[in-house]
Amino acid sequence: MSDKIVLIDGNSIINRAFYGVPDLTNSEGIHTNAIYGFINIMLKILEEEQAGYLTVAFDMKHPTFRHIKYPEYKGTRKGMPDELREQIPLLKEVLHAMGIRTVEKAGYEADDILGTIATRCSEQGMKVSLVSGDRDLLQLASDTILIRIPKTKRGGTEIENYNTAEVVEKYQVTPAQIIDLKGLMGDASDNIPGVPGIGEKTAAKILSAFETVENAYAHIDEVMPNKARESLREHYDLAVLSKDLATIKVDCELEYTLEEAKMPSLFTPEAFALFKRFEFKSLYNKFEGDVSRNDKLEEKFIEVTSKEEAEKIFQSILALKEARDLKELVTDGISTDRVGLMFACLEGTIVGVAVTYSEDTCYYLSANEVVSVEYILEQVNTIIEENIMLSAVSLKEMLPYIQATSTSKIYDMGLASYVMNPLKDTYHYDDIARDYLEITVPSREELFGKTKEKEVFENQKEVYKNFICYHSYIAYLALEKLSTQLYEANSLELFVDIEMPLIYTLYDMECRGIRVNKEALKEYGDQLEVRIKELEKKIYEHAGEEFNINSPKQLGIILFEKLHMPFAKKTKTGYSTSADVLEKLRSEDPVIDEILEYRQLTKLKSTYADGLATYIAEDNRIHGKFNQTITATGRISSTEPNLQNIPIRMELGRQIRKVFIPEDGYVFLDADYSQIELRVLAHMSDDERLIEAYKQEQDIHKITASQVFHTPLNEVTNAQRSNAKAVNFGIVYGISSFSLGQDLNITKKEADVYIKKYFETYPRVKEFLDNLVEEGKKNGYVTSLFNRRRPIPELSSSNFMQRSFGERVAMNSPIQGTAADIIKIAMIRTNQKLKDLKLKSRLLLQIHDELLIETHKDEIEQVANILKDEMQGAATLHVPLEVEVKQGNNWYEAK
DNA sequence: GTTCTCACG
DNA sequence: ACGTACGTGAGAACT
C-alpha cells in the first residue's frame, strides 16, 4: 500500500464541476452535473495518483464559526444556486456508497480540515495530494504536499500542480507567504478585502522585500511605491484581517484516523445503484461486469422441465384466490394471491414462460417436448379466465399470445410506473426494481451486452432464463408497491380505469393497421421527385455552384456569406436557416422561395412518400405503434411510423392523405373534438364568461375578440379574430408576452395589452393559471382533471429560463393532460362498443383530438352516432364537448 | 450520438 | 437582464 494520500476539497470541487459541466438532469429531474463532474475529476486524479488513502472534506458552517466576527466579509457570500445545493447531499451519498471517508465538522471549512490532515500526514512522512479549486490552499504547498487545481477546459480536465517551487515560480512568494499575499491583494472570489490599491504585482514586490505583512508595516516608511505605502499605512488593520481570513488552520481537532481513509474499492454495488439512478452511463463500465448482479435473487429463479413439476406449478396457481378489485385490495392490504408473468419469446414464438407467485421463487418453464408451448398457453389462458391476478412489465407485447381482454385482471407495472412519473425515458424491469423496490438488478444491456437475444437464448441459457425471470419476479413484487403508491397519489383510478384498458384498445389499433394505396404513394413520390430536380437546378444556378441544400451549414454559408443576405441569425453551430428566418428573406432573392419549396418537397418525399412506403406490410396496411409511456402530459405518441403528423396544413402535403384508404366495402369516419383544450380550460377555470361563450356554441375566437377588443360581435374583423385566436392558443401554452408578440408580429408591449385585456375578460382563467403555478411550486407537480400527475422539477430552478419553462408547463400540462384523459376514455368506450355490438368497424388512429374509424358501409350512421356519443360523453364538463364527424373514401376526404 | 429542421395536435 | 410558446417523431447532416 502506497503511503500517499489524496485529499479533496469537496465544496470547492463540486462547485467547479457545477460551473464546468453543462446542466444535466436524470429522467427524474434531479440535477446531476456537479456530481458527475466531481466524480470524473476524482477518478481522473485517483487513476494518476495510485494513492493508498483518500479523504474528502466538506464545509460545515456553524453559528460559532470563527469568521462570524467579520460578517461583512465572509457572511455576505452569495448563496449557491439551489441546483447545486441539492447535489451536495447526493454527492455525499455517492461517496459513501463508494466507501470513501468524508470529513466535516461544525464550524470548520473544508480547507481547515484538509490543512490539518495534510499537515499531520506530511509530518508522518507521507506524500499528500491536495485537490481544490481554491488557491488559498497554495499556502500549504511543500515538497511533500502537492496542491492540485483542476481546470475544466473544453474537451476535458487539466490539472495545475504546485509544490513549493511552482508556487514561487508563479507567484514570486513562498507558500507560507501566500497568506501575506492575500492579506495585501485580497481575493474577490473569497470576499477577502485586501489593501485597496495593492494588486498582485505590488504585493509580490513588497513581500520580496519584507517577507510578511507585519514586517512591511514595521518598516512602513521604506515600503514602495508611495501609493501602496500610504494605503497600507491607512489600511493595515484590513491587511491583518485579510491575512487572518486567508489563513488555513492546520490544528483542527479532528477524530480522524488514517485507517478509515484507506483507499476503498470504490466501484461497489451500492455505488452502481446510485450511478444508475443518476444515469451516469459513461461510468457504468468502471464496474466489474457482474457487480450489479443480484446473485441472491437469481438463486430464486428455478428452471422447470418436467411435465409433473409444470402441472404442480399451474395447480398451485389455480388454487390462488380470484382477484378482487385492485382499488379495494389496496385499502384492505394487497393479497399475495397474484402471479408475476413473463413470456420468453423469440421472433414471435414463445419459447418459455416465467411465473412468480411467492417472493421465494420464480419458476422458469422452458418449452420442450413434454412441456409444450400449447400446454403453457392453455394453462396461462386458464389462469386469466379464472380471474387470478396477474402482473406483467409490458403487457401490450404479451397480448399476441394470450387471450386477455380489458376486463382481465392483469396489471402492467411499466405503465403503472409511467403513471407515477411520466418523465422517465424507460420503464423496464430494472427501472421498476430500482425506483419502487429499491433493489438493483442487471438491465438487459448488462445481461446481454451487444449479443443478440437469439444468440443469448442459444448460447447462454442461464443468462436468458434470468432475463425472463427478472421480469416476472419484479412484476410480482412491484404490484403491491406501485398500486399502493398510485392510491396514495390519487392516481389509482386513472391507472385501473383508463390506462390499463387503453392497452387493449391500442393493441387492437396496431393489429388492425391502416390501409395504404401503394401505387398512389409511389406516384406521389415520383411527382415530388420531378419538381425537386427542377428546383435543385434553379437553386444551383442562383447560387452559382452546386452544394447540399439540405445541409444547414452549407446553405448558411451560401446565403449569408456568398450572397450576403441580411438578418443572419446564429444558432450554436452556425447560421440559422429555419423557415421563419428564410421567410423574412423572401423579398431579397427569388432563390429563397425555391429553397423553401425545396425544403418542403424533400421533407414530403423523404419522411412521407419514401418513409411511409417502408412500413407497408404484406396486407397493404401500415401497422404503426402507439406508445403509452412516452409523453410528459399523458398523450399517446405514435412511431414506426408516426401517424400523428401526416401533413394537412399545406395543400400539397395534405394530398398524401389520399393514399390512406379504407378496406373495400368500408369508408372512413373521422371525428374531431372542437377546441377541446380551450373547453377544458373553461371547465377547469370555471370562468363564467368563458363557459357562457361556449354554451352559445359559437365561434370562440370571435367571441373572445369581441370581448377583448370591446367590439360588437358582428363587427369583429378577421384580424381581430385571428389575434384573439393566437391569444387563446397562447393561454393554453402558458402565455408570455414576448412569444405572443413574436407570433403576432407585434411588440411585447402590445402583446402585454392583449393578455391583460384577455385576463380582464376572463378573470377566473388568470386566477386558475396562477393557482396552477403556485400549486406546482408547492407540491412539485400539477395534476389533470383525472389526477394524472406531471412533476415539474424546473419550478424550483434558480435559473430564470428554466423556472419560466416550469411555469408554462404548470399552466399547460393540466389542460393538455385532461384533454388526453378525455380522448383516452372515448377511445376505450368506442372500441368496446364496436366490439360489444359485434360491428365490423374498427378504430384505426388517434391524433390527440381526433379518432379515425374504418367503418363498414352498413354501419355508417350507427358508428357515427357511437363516435359522437362516446366522445362527447367521455367527460361531463361545465361546457359541452363538441365533436364533428366527417366521412370520406380516403383520409383526405374525411377531414 | 447530437443538431437542425419540419411534420402534426 | 435573462430569452421562450405546450406536446411529440423522423430524416439528414455532421461530429
Residues A366, A234 share a domain: no
Does position A154 have pLDDT exceeding 70, yes or no?
Answer: no
Quickly tell me which residue has 396461462 as its cell.
A380
**In this structure, is residue A708 part of a structural domain?**
no
Q: Which of the four pLDDT bands, split at 50, 70 and 90, describes residue A156?
A: low
How would you label A583-600 residue by residue, b for 16+ Cβ within 10 Å and e otherwise?
eebeeeeebbebbbbbbb
Residues A74, A52 share a domain: yes
- The reported pLDDT for the residue numbered A306 is 96
Rounded distance in angstroms from the CA atom of residue A547 to the C1' atom of nucleotide C15: 20
- The reported pLDDT for the residue numbered A221 is 83
The string of pLDDT tens digits covering residues A80-103 is 777 888 899 999 999 999 999 999
Q: Determine the protein residue whose CA lies at the shortest distance from the C1' of C1.
A: A800
Residues A155, A33 share a domain: yes
Chain C bases having any atom below 7 Å from a protein CB: 1-15
Residues A329, A369 share a domain: yes
Give yes or no for CB of A823 within 7 Å of strand B. no
**In this structure, is residue A641 part of a structural domain?**
no
Residues A320, A275 share a domain: no
* A35-49, A616-630, A773-787: range with lowest mean pLDDT: A35-49
Rounded distance in angstroms from the CA atom of residue A733 to the C1' atom of nucleotide C6: 5
The string of pLDDT tens digits covering residues A116-128 is 999 999 999 999 9
Residue where a domain terminates, one of A425, A455, A488: A488
Q: Which of A412, A437, A472 is nearest to A629 (CA)?
A: A412
Residue where a domain terminates, one of A193, A220, A248: A248
Residues A371, A232 share a domain: no
The string of pLDDT tens digits covering residues A383-392 is 999 999 999 9
Q: Which of the four pLDDT bands, split at 50, 70 and 90, describes residue A71?
A: very low
**In this structure, is residue A607 part of a structural domain?**
no
**In this structure, is residue A629 part of a structural domain?**
no
The string of pLDDT tens digits covering residues A208-218 is 888 888 888 78
Give the CATH number for residue A301: 3.30.420.10
**In this structure, is residue A811 part of a structural domain?**
no
Residues A211, A323 share a domain: no
Rounded distance in angstroms from the CA atom of residue A372 to the C1' atom of nucleotide C10: 42
- The reported pLDDT for the residue numbered A420 is 97
Give the CATH number for residue A76: 3.40.50.1010
Percent of chain A surpassing pLDDT 70: 96
Structural domain including A160 reads: 1-171+255-285
Q: Determine the protein residue whose CA lies at the shortest distance from the C1' of C6.
A: A733
Q: Nearest nucleotide to A732 by CA–C1' distance?
A: C6
Q: Is the peptide bond before A791 cis (omega within 30 degrees of 0)?
A: no
For chain A, what is the mean pLDDT? 90
Percent of chain A surpassing pLDDT 90: 65
Residues A440, A326 share a domain: yes
Give yes or no for CB of A637 within 7 Å of strand C. yes
Angstrom distance (rounded) from CA A855 to CA A867 = 11
**In this structure, is residue A149 part of a structural domain?**
yes
- The reported pLDDT for the residue numbered A74 is 35
Residues A341, A268 share a domain: no
Arithmetic mean of pLDDT, A494-518: 97
- The reported pLDDT for the residue numbered A151 is 75
**In this structure, is residue A861 part of a structural domain?**
no
- The reported pLDDT for the residue numbered A266 is 92
Residues 543-602 of A with CB under 7 A from strand B: 552, 556, 571-573, 575-580, 582, 596, 599-600
Does position A153 have pLDDT exceeding 60, yes or no?
Answer: no
How would you label A219-245 residue by residue, b for 16+ Cβ within 10 Å and e otherwise?
eeeebeeeebbebbeebbebbebbbeb
How many distinct structural domains can be found in chain A? 3
- Residues A425/A418, Cβ–Cβ less than 8 Å: no
Does position A701 have pLDDT exceeding 90, yes or no?
Answer: yes
- The reported pLDDT for the residue numbered A718 is 92
Q: Determine the protein residue whose CA lies at the shortest distance from the C1' of C12.
A: A550
**In this structure, is residue A382 part of a structural domain?**
yes
Give yes or no for CB of A848 within 7 Å of strand C. yes
Q: Which of the four pLDDT bands, split at 50, 70 and 90, describes residue A77?
A: very low
What is the pTM assigned to this prediction?
A: 0.80
Residues A219, A105 share a domain: no
* A58-67, A153-162, A191-200: range with lowest mean pLDDT: A58-67
- The reported pLDDT for the residue numbered A68 is 34
The string of pLDDT tens digits covering residues A525-579 is 999 999 999 999 999 998 889 999 999 889 988 988 888 888 777 777 788 889 8
3-state SS track over A798-841: CCHHHHHHHHHHHHHHHHHHHHHHHHHHHHHHHHHHHHHCCCCC
Give the CATH number for residue A179: 1.10.150.20
Residues A22, A3 share a domain: yes
Residues 645-684 of A with CB under 7 A from strand C: 645
Arithmetic mean of pLDDT, A251-265: 92
Q: Nearest nucleotide to A848 by CA–C1' distance?
A: B9
Residues A399, A386 share a domain: yes
Provide the pairing of β-strand A410-412 with A389-392: parallel
Residue where a domain terminates, one of A463, A488, A513: A488
Does position A62 have pLDDT exceeding 70, yes or no?
Answer: no
Report residue A561 as a C-alpha cell: 456569406
